[in-house]
Amino acid sequence: DIQMTQSPSTLSASVGDRVTITCRASQSISSWLAWYQQKPGKAPKLLIYKASSLESGVPSRFSGSGSGTEFTLTISSLQPDDSATYYCQQYNSYWTFGQGTKVEIK
């Protein structure tokens, strides 16, 4: 099974800050990685697929990069609406999620 590890588990940043979340896979998954945003009591929402492709309608301040085993989600200028938990997901072999990163606004 492919394990996904996200870091940090929680981060606190100010509006306008650049924020980076890292996701590491236990083995190479090429670019078969997605990122989701989940707000409390809501379903996850797709942000990024194939490691760096931005889903239609998602603000351009979100970007993804990486391949192989190391990936990042970057929010270029943090906004109040970005307060949420973010999950990475590999879909190279079945489906596995990272444990999540909670982003808080200072």
Partner 1 sequence: QVQLEESGGGVVQPGRSLRLSCAASGFTFNTYGMHWVRQAPGKGLEWVAVISYDGSNKYYADSVKGRFTISRDNSKNTLYLQMNSLRAEDTAVYYCAKSARLLEWFGNWFDPWGQGTLVTVSS
- By the criterion CB under 8 A, which residues form the site for partner 1? 32, 34, 36, 38, 42-46, 49, 55, 87, 89, 91-92, 94-100
Specify the residue, 66 or 98, whose C-beta has the smaller distance to partner 1.
98
- Strands (E) across 1-106 are located at 4-7, 10-13, 19-25, 33-38, 45-49, 53-54, 62-67, 70-75, 84-90, 96-97, 101-105
CA atoms in the 13 A half-sphere facing the CB of 95: 5
Minimum distance from residue 16 beta carbon to partner 1 (Å): 28
CB closer to partner 1 out of 19 and 64: 64
Task: Find the shortest distance in angstroms from Cβ 99 to partner 1.
Answer: 5
